[in-house]
A and B are shown apart, each in its own frame.
Chain A
């Protein structure tokens, strides 16, 4: 059984009294104390246009037999390894088709990272209604993302 931990440390001097949170999660399978034991590995992708890109595509995992079981405890890490604080990459969940049922989560500026649970709902083999993670750069300047999925 794999043991993987994710620790966050948040600290701020915004207020008179400093704010600090430190929390460690041991990444377990849904409803279990057994550790998540599958991963995409850490991947890197460079983008150089403002076109939307299906960054984490459920079909890819289905087609290679590495099925991400939906509605379990999968976690996603994404980082914009650029340095620009002016340009960002928009991160969305749902279908890549902009007219479809999608939701924009937020913007990753240079140096920003995010870590979140992923329902990974897969509906069909042609992306329709799949809850993929796709990204849209704010400029055509080259930007590189690193990402990883840890799942069951």
Chain B
């Protein structure tokens, strides 16, 4: 059986009066089971400068309400550069240069895409790396 794990470590010596040290590991399973996810896709893309959302990861019917996990990272290095992450038009938040996110993704319907834009006001493009582990997707006809 395939085994995929995701570990987060949050650490700070001075955010609180005492040190923060938190670590958690999860194993990525098919929905409601202990069977490991067996499909994934990864990519590295240059997002053009625009205030319009573009689809980074396309939601499809075969993935609706299944288990999926999404990783996205902003690989720019200028601290002023950020990307805006949305889902189905609802803004989740901004990933600044060097930031990453990791979320479960239930693809409630075909419109629940993971969307991104690199604001026009920045006058730059944004390099984005991503990975999605999932249970399945609907293939488009050629």
- Residues on A facing B (Cβ under 8 Å): 2-15, 19, 21, 23, 25-28, 30-33, 35-37, 39, 41-42, 71-75, 77, 79, 85-86, 88, 90-91, 93-94, 101-109, 111-121, 131, 148, 150
Contact = CB atoms under 8 A, between A and B. Distances in A.
Contacts of B90: 93-94, 101-103
Given A91-B104, A103-B90, A117-B101, A2 B12 contact: yes
B43 interface: no
B8 A13 contact: no
Interface residues of B, number: 64
B140 interface: no
A112 B93 contact: no
Given A8-B7, A32-B79, A107 B16 contact: no
26 contacts: A2-B12, A3-B12, A3-B13, A6-B8, A7-B7, A8-B100, A9-B9, A10-B6, A10-B71, A12-B5, A14-B2, A19-B4, A19-B42, A23-B73, A77-B22, A94-B90, A101-B90, A104-B106, A106-B104, A106-B105, A107-B106, A109-B67, A116-B101, A118-B92, A121-B91, A150-B15
A12 B5 CA distance: 6
Given A8-B6, A19-B4, A33-B79, 7 more contacts: A4-B11, A5-B12, A13-B2, A14-B36, A74-B93, A107-B31, A117-B99
